[in-house]
């Protein structure tokens, strides 16, 4: 495969021009670099009003042949995955492309031996160990649709996702190591499965060695694997067959199962990986995300492997055993590209800088940021102390729904600007809209929208195409609406200002406020609740819950503790509100709609920006909330 990256500003400009003049020819040339069993009949078919998007339609391929088999001819001994365990005393693993290919084929055969077939949904609820990446690829090998559920999610959240996709199989582990904690994954999965009927087999990887309960459907990974060999021809897939489902929260209670398909997703993740990070053969690249999020799917597994890169997988957390773990690992594995989230940077920035400076970070060439807007202070700390003012920073804007990075600078090729994601990638047509859906020109602020498809756009929400249409294509007909606001400078650089809907990004995690409210409302003593985000110096945003109690409670602290536990149990610990205030009422319009805008101001302590509250049904509660906050 040729180098997919534009290595100079001239090459970039040329690509940008071609992409806007002849978008289909532009993407065809990129798609032609991959191995297809059969070339496509139609490059693009789309209608944002329907909505419908098809890329490389009629093409036949298997993404794992592009991520694995193809590299065996040219670089079988190249390291594909470097696994850095949670415990630094445990030996790191280097898995070559040849070994990865063999292990993926073997696991693929294990899945098949237990009944998995093309089109089945397989839920993966696993720690960040190589077997997770291998399971992802094994599903893709046999044409099964993987649905990875982040191992920090609760039993209830896991059950809801298994049931929504009607998964036939679960792959999990006895437990997972994360910092000083051990998560009892098998026990959580067992609890989840009491609410699920579709799972016929549950394969259990031994990771921690802890005691686990055993059920009829359970199979040990190592025992099942011993029964199969590593010869597994790839299932030939249509370009538009689903590759995976990944859930992301929405503004109503139910998570949205975003569906990505084989051909377009492969082309776009490889293209964006290579261009944004300017990866060069032999470099060591590390993305610190979890494979349970889209960042891990696209930029730990598929994008890097599609271009034959060496990708680091880290099991642990930045603060274990000490708060210099990231820098220690960068030095240990001689990392060249490092990709993390602003929330991690802000947390690490609080510690003495010698925790960074004592490590040799001289191999670093590129730094990346993802998940939320990066504030100026964090940007400069990252630039000064980690990059030593010598590494371009790519601030990458994208979503679960977009599959890959849509707005970012290309490291060292296009100009960076602190706090700006900068320019759309060649082939991505971003615009700013006003509230009426008119395109805004020049320097401006408005609603971010995309007016032409790119190959990795999610094709639907699993089982609910109507919702897909309503959420992304109805507010501004003819455009894809991501739900973010942005401003644009005179040079066309975008700065993402944040969500314009009811999703709050906490420590880089996209949390819908509605499911959290639903969880709070489950408590017998809660009448109603409203959850909003407020600025937090480490997490970016934190959650503030306003709760109306049924009975006048003497002990607010006990109720608050119970509510936090309830949210952790229903959704997961990351969704626990930082603040919970018991109130006698919520500010409402006369038609009964909660005024979240006012709650956001109250949560942020911006009392002088409340605006006119006299039109409220109950203006007195605003005073009460202020008094008791
Ligand atoms: C990749 C990911 C998506 C939401 C998105 C934004 C926010 C992500 C940036 C960002 C400002 C960035 N997928 N977001 N990246 N905001 N600058 N570079 O995070 O589906 O989990 O979240 O995250 O609001 O809509 S996600």
Q: What are 308's two structure tokens? A: 């034959």
**pLDDT at residue 1 is higher than 60:** no
**Count of structural domains within the chain:** 2
Separation between Cα atoms, residue 294 and residue 463, nearest integer Å? 20
**How many CB atoms within 10 Å of residue 435?**
10
CATH number at residue 289: 3.40.50.12780
pLDDT-derived band at 253 (thresholds 50, 70, 90) equals low
**DSSP per-residue codes, 133-185:** HHHHHHHHHHT-EEEE--TTS-HHHHHHHHHHHT-SEEEEES-EEETTEEE-H
Closest CA to 528 of 569, 484, 585: 585
Residue nearest to atom 17 of ligand 1 (CA): 373
pLDDT band, residue 252 (cuts 50/70/90): low
Residues paired with 237 in a beta bridge:
61
Query: 178 lies in a domain?
Result: yes
Gap between the Cα atoms of 278 and 285, Å rounded: 11
Evaluate whether residue 367 is within a structural domain. no
Pocket test of ligand 1: the residue of 397, 405, 512, 574 to mutate, having most ligand atoms within 8 Å of its CB, is 397
Ligand 1 atom at shortest distance from the alpha carbon of 508: 19
pLDDT digits (tens, 9 = 90+) for 287-303: 999 999 999 999 999 99
Confidence label for 550 from pLDDT (cuts 50, 70 and 90): confident
Note if the pTM is more than 0.85.
yes
For residue 108, what are its two tokens? 């693929």
Residue 589 CA to chain centroid, in angstroms?
A: 35
CA 382/CA 347 separation, integer angstroms: 12
Q: Which residue has the higher pLDDT, 559 or 497?
A: 559
Other Cβ atoms within 10 Å of 213 Cβ, number: 8
Structural domain span for residue 70: 2-317+396-485
Would you say residue 178 has pLDDT above 90?
Answer: yes
Same domain, 203 and 240: yes
Judge if 122 and 201 occupy the same domain. Answer: yes
Q: Do both 511 and 464 map to the same domain?
A: no
Question: Is residue 323 included in any domain, yes or no?
Answer: no
Residue of the nearest CA to atom 4 in ligand 1? 399
Mean pLDDT, the chain, whole residue set = 95
Residue 521 lies in a domain: yes
pLDDT value for 84? 98
Of 454, 485, 516, the domain-final residue: 485
Asked if residue 176 and residue 32 are part of one domain, the reply reads yes
Residues 230 and 270 in one domain: yes
User: What percent of the chain is predicted at pLDDT more than 70?
Assistant: 98
**584 and 523: one domain?**
yes
Cis peptide before 96 (omega within 30 of 0): no
Same domain, 79 and 192: yes
pLDDT-derived band at 559 (thresholds 50, 70, 90) equals very high
- Domain boundary at 438, 454, 485, which? 485
DSSP notation for 277-323 = HT--TT-EEEE-S-TTSHHHIIIIIIHHHHTT-EEEEE-S-TTSSST
Q: How many angstroms does the Cα of residue 538 sit away from the middle of ligand 1?
A: 16
Same domain, 311 and 166: yes
616: helix, coil or strand? coil
On the question of pLDDT at 591 being above 70, the answer is: no
Query: What is residue 593's predicted lDDT score, i.e. its pLDDT?
Result: 67
pLDDT value of residue 500? 80
- Quote the pLDDT of residue 251: 59
Indicate the top mutation candidate among 407, 450, 481, 496 to test ligand 1's pocket, ranked by most ligand atoms within 8 A of CB: 496
Cβ pair 614, 598 in contact under 8 A: no
Q: How far apart are CA 255 and CA 154, in angstroms?
A: 14
Q: How far apart are CA 416 and CA 413, in angstroms?
A: 9
Provide the CB-side half-sphere exposure for 554 (13 A, CA).
Answer: 0
Encoded tokens for 412: 């060292």
Q: How remote is the CA of residue 303 from the centroid of ligand 1, in Å?
A: 18
Terminal Cα-to-Cα distance of the chain (whole angstroms): 60
* Best of 148, 472, 484 for a ligand 1 pocket test (most atoms within 8 Å of beta carbon): 484
Q: Provide mean pLDDT across the span 145-173.
A: 96
DSSP 592: S
Rounded Cα–Cα distance for residues 25 and 119 (Å):
31
Which residues approach ligand 1 with their CB closer than 6 A?
A: 248, 293-295, 370-373, 395-400, 421, 482-484, 496, 499, 505, 510
Taking 60 as the threshold, does the pLDDT of residue 460 lie above it?
Answer: yes
Rounded to the nearest 5 degrees, what angle is found at the Cα of 611, between the Cα atoms of 609 and 613? 130
Question: Has residue 354 been placed in a domain?
Answer: no
Q: Determine the Cα–Cα distance for residues 16 and 10; give it in Å rounded to an integer.
A: 10
Q: If you take atom 16 of ligand 1, which residue's CA is the nearest one?
A: 372
- Render pLDDT for 197-208 as a digit per residue (tens, 0 to 9): 999 999 999 999
The verdict on residue 305 lying in a domain is yes
Locate tokens 């949205």: which residue? 256
> In this structure, are residues 419 and 409 in contact, taking their beta carbons and an 8 Å threshold?
no
Mind listing the pLDDT tens digit for each residue in 337-361? 999 999 899 889 989 999 999 999 9
- Split at pLDDT 50, 70, 90, the class of 250 is low
Distance between CA atoms of residues 214 and 186, nearest Å: 9
The answer to which of 2-11, 106-115, 219-228 has the lowest mean pLDDT is 2-11
On whether both 531 and 474 belong to a single domain, the answer is: no
The ligand 1 atom at the shortest distance from the C-alpha of residue 401 is 20
**Residue carrying the six token digits 């989230």:** 341
Q: For residue 274, is it within any domain?
A: yes
Q: Return the beta strands (E) in 145-275 as ranges.
A: 145-148, 169-173, 176-178, 181-183, 201-205, 218-220, 237-238, 242-248, 256-261
- If asked whether residues 444 and 572 sit together in one domain, one would say no
Measured from the Cα of 503, ligand 1's closest atom is 24
CB 480 within 8 A of CB 48: yes
Distance 165 CA to ligand 1 centre (A): 24
Whether omega for the bond prior to residue 321 falls within 30 degrees of 0, making it cis, is: yes
Residue 418 lies in a domain: yes
pLDDT at residue 617 in the model = 81
User: What is the CB-side half-sphere exposure of residue 345 using CA atoms within 13 A?
Assistant: 30
Could you say which of 485, 515, 538 is where a domain stops?
Answer: 485
pLDDT tens per residue, range 72-130: 999 999 999 999 999 999 999 999 999 999 999 999 999 999 999 999 999 999 999 99
Q: 124 or 610: which carries more pLDDT confidence?
A: 124
Tokens (6 digits) for 74: 């040219």
Same domain, yes or no: 218 and 127: yes
User: pLDDT tens for residues 8-52?
Assistant: 999 999 999 999 999 999 999 999 999 999 999 999 999 999 999
**Can you tell me the mean pLDDT for 191-219?**
98
Residue 510, pLDDT score: 82
Residue 191 pLDDT > 60: yes
Q: Are residues 150 and 95 in the same domain?
A: yes
CATH number for 578: 3.30.300.30
pLDDT in tens, 358-414: 999 999 999 999 998 888 999 999 999 999 999 999 999 999 999 999 999 999 999
pLDDT of 556 higher than 90: no
């Amino acid at each position: 495969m040729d180098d997919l990256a534009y290595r100079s500003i001239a090459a970039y400009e040329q690509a940008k021009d071609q992409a806007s003049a002849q978008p289909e020819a532009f993407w065809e040339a990129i798609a032609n670099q991959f191995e297809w069993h059969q070339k496509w009949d139609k490059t693009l078919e789309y209608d944002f009003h329907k909505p419908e998007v098809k890329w490389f339609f009629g093409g036949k391929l298997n993404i794992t042949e592009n991520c694995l088999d193809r590299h065996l001819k040219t670089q079988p001994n190249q390291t594909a995955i470097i696994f850095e365990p949670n415990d630094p005393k445990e030996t790191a693993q280097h898995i070559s492309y040849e070994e990865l290919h063999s292990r993926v084929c073997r696991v693929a055969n294990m899945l098949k031996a237990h009944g998995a077939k093309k089109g089945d949904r397989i839920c993966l609820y696993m720690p960040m160990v190589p077997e997770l990446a291998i399971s992802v690829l094994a599903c893709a090998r046999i044409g099964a649709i993987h649905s990875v559920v982040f191992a920090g999610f609760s039993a209830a959240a896991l059950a809801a996702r298994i049931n929504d996709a009607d998964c036939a199989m679960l792959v999990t582990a006895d437990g997972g190591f994360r910092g000083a904690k051990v998560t009892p994954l098998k026990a959580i999965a067992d609890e989840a499965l009491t609410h699920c009927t579709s799972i016929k087999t549950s394969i259990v990887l031994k990771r921690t060695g802890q005691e686990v309960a055993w059920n009829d459907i359970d199979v040990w990974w190592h025992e099942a694997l011993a029964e199969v060999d590593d010869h597994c021809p790839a299932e030939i897939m249509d370009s538009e067959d689903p590759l995976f489902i990944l859930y992301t929260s929405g503004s109503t209670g139910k998570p949205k199962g975003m569906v990505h398909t084989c051909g377009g997703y492969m082309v776009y993740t490889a293209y964006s990986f290579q261009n944004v990070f300017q990866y060069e053969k032999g470099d060591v690249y590390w993305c610190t995300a979890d494979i349970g999020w889209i960042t891990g799917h696209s930029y730990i597994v598929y994008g890097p492997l599609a271009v034959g890169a060496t990708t680091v997988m880290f099991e642990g957390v930045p603060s274990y055993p000490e708060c210099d773990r990231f820098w220690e690992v960068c030095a240990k594995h001689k990392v060249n590209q490092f990709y993390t989230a602003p929330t991690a940077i802000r947390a690490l920035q609080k510690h003495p800088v010698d925790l960074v400076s004592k490590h040799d970070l001289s191999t670093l060439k590129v730094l990346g940021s993802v998940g939320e807007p990066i504030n100026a202070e964090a940007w400069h700390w990252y630039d000064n102390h980690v990059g030593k003012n010598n590494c371009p920073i790519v601030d990458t804007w994208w979503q679960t729904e977009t599959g890959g990075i849509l707005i970012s600078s290309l490291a060292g090729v296009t100009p960076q600007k602190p706090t700006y994601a900068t320019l759309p990638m060649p082939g991505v047509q971003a615009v700013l809209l006003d509230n009426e859906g008119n395109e805004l020109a020049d320097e401006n602020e408005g609603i971010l929208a995309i007016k032409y498809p790119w190959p990795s756009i999610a094709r639907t929400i699993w089982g609910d195409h109507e919702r897909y249409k309503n959420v992304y294509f109805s507010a501004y007909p003819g455009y894809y609406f991501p739900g973010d606001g942005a401003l644009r400078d005179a040079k066309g650089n975008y700065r993402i200002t944040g969500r314009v809907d009811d999703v709050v990004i906490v420590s880089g995690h996209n949390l819908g406020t509605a499911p959290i409210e639903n969880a709070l409302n489950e408590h017998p003593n809660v009448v109603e609740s409203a959850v909003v985000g407020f600025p937090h110096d480490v997490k970016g945003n934190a959650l503030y819950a306003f709760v109306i109690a049924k009975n006048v409670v003497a002990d607010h602290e006990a109720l608050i503790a119970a509510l936090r536990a309830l949210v952790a149990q229903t959704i997961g610990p990351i969704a626990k509100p930082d603040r919970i205030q018991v109130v006698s009422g919520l500010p409402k319009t006369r038609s009964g709609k909660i005024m979240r805008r006012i709650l956001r101001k109250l949560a942020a302590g911006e009392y002088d920006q409340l605006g006119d509250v006299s039109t409220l049904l109950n203006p007195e509660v605003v005073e009460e909330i202020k008094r008791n906050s």
